[in-house]
Amino acid sequence: MSPTDAAAESAGLGYTLLCAPAPRWPPGRRKLSIEGAEVTVKARRVVVGMSGGVDSSVAAALLKEQGYEVIGVTLSLSPKLTADEAAERDDACCTLAAVEDARRVADKLGIDHYCLNFREIFAERVIGNFIAEYRRGRTPNPCVRCNDHVKFEAVLRRARAMDADLVATGHYARIEHCPATERHLLRKGLDPRKDQSYVLYVLTQDELAHTLLPLGELVKEQTRELARKLGLRVADKPESQEICFVVDDDYGSFLRRVAPEVVQPGPVLDLGGRVVGEHKGVAFYTIGQRRALGIATGQPLYVVDIDVRRSAVVVGPEEALYREEVLADDVNLIGVAALDEPIRVQAKVRYRMPAAEGWLEQPSPDRLLLRFDRPQRAITPGQSLVCYQGDTVVGGGTILAAGPGAGRSAQAGQAGPASRVARPARR
């Protein structure tokens, strides 16, 4: 047992996944020694996803400086975006303006650049999931699904067809290899304000082994300063918006076109099942919401549940928002292949929340059950449960249910009405 493991055990923390740091990423050029002479062989080829923003642009520049043969690619994703809409936007990652910005950066860096058409897979795996989740009364996280199916899985597959064995992005996180376990680990980025490990928990061992994240040890201002020194026009470009395929962030109009049933009026119920008002459509509400309920009462009320079977929004007092247990599916474990016993973790159920302590167990291959030490507010089905030990990602999944019933559902191997068919645990 290592000193770290022994300390964790004596403190009653359960099994720990922490591992001694290993080299962060391989050098771009491989050196061979032949009869005393050092020979530099062909540079490793890496495909960098370039969104036209400052982060991916600097990532490409850093990798070129490290000696890699860098190929920039920009993804064409949104099939619903018209040419006029694309031309008017400068805050999204897959518009015509973004492609042009990425191409200019590639020219400045002296690297090849291509635009890849991933519209079909994006429509199926990201937009399709976005619509399906709202139809289930859940709040989707399209950025996680895009990372899962497009920016890493699909891009790595295309990169290999281009004779590249590595992909890279401008995400703020770190990847390391643990010699003791022979597993690749995902760690938080050093900039706590920009850490994006939460949205990368879906990466498999194969994807982690072939991914470079050059910005993991930088803070955002360092990235912008590097871009200025390189003379990149995108140095002060604003952050891309979260839902790139929803124009003007008006997801209500988008859903009216593609899933009108989720924007139909229905009853607002209190915790006793009594009708206390009418909502505009279940898609406009999420767990924890207080505003725009349209209910006049003597106390603040919050959305505590979405009952999609009755097309109802359930409201209650703030204390009804707190839950201790969380059940998740779409499981991906990074630190270990499987959990044989409960372990201590710090967990997030939202990107921006502080991590909270709890016990994590795996009641079945496709389920994770987390019991927080203290109840957490507004745990929302469809969002991601991501668990850490220190700065290392243990793994995560998509939230199915929260509350006392979550543990009972886990034992029964189901998650109630909101459950969906789960994919096997990814490795």
Catalytic residues: 146, 244
Buried residues in 248-264 as b, exposed as e (16+ CB within 10 A)? eeebeebbeeebeebbe
CB neighbours of 36 closer than 8 A, spacing ≥ 6? none
Radius of gyration (Cα) for the chain, nearest Å? 23
Asked if residues 6 and 18 have their Cβ atoms less than 8 Å apart, the reply is no
Pairing between strand 343-348 and 384-389? antiparallel
What dihedral do alpha carbons 168, 173, 174, 178 form, nearest 10°? -110
- Report helix, strand or coil for 160: helix
Asked if residues 7 and 157 have their Cβ atoms less than 8 Å apart, the reply is no
Strand-pairing partners, residue 306, are 313
Q: To 5 degrees, how large is the angle CA 290–CA 296–CA 298?
A: 90
Helix (H) or strand (E) holding 4: helix 3-10
| CB neighbourhood size of 294 (10 A) | 10
- Report helix, strand or coil for 29: coil
Asked if residues 280 and 305 have their Cβ atoms less than 8 Å apart, the reply is no
Tell the residue number behind the tokens 């140095």, with chain if given.
Answer: 235
- Report helix, strand or coil for 117: strand
Buried residues in 59-94 as b, exposed as e (16+ CB within 10 A)? bbbbbbebebbbbbbbbbbbeebeeeebeebebbbb
Helix (H) or strand (E) holding 284: none
Q: Which of 286, 371, 406, 387 is nearest to 331 (CA)?
A: 387
Could you write out the DSSP letters of every residue in 303-330? EEEEETTTTEEEEE-GGGGEEEEEEEEE
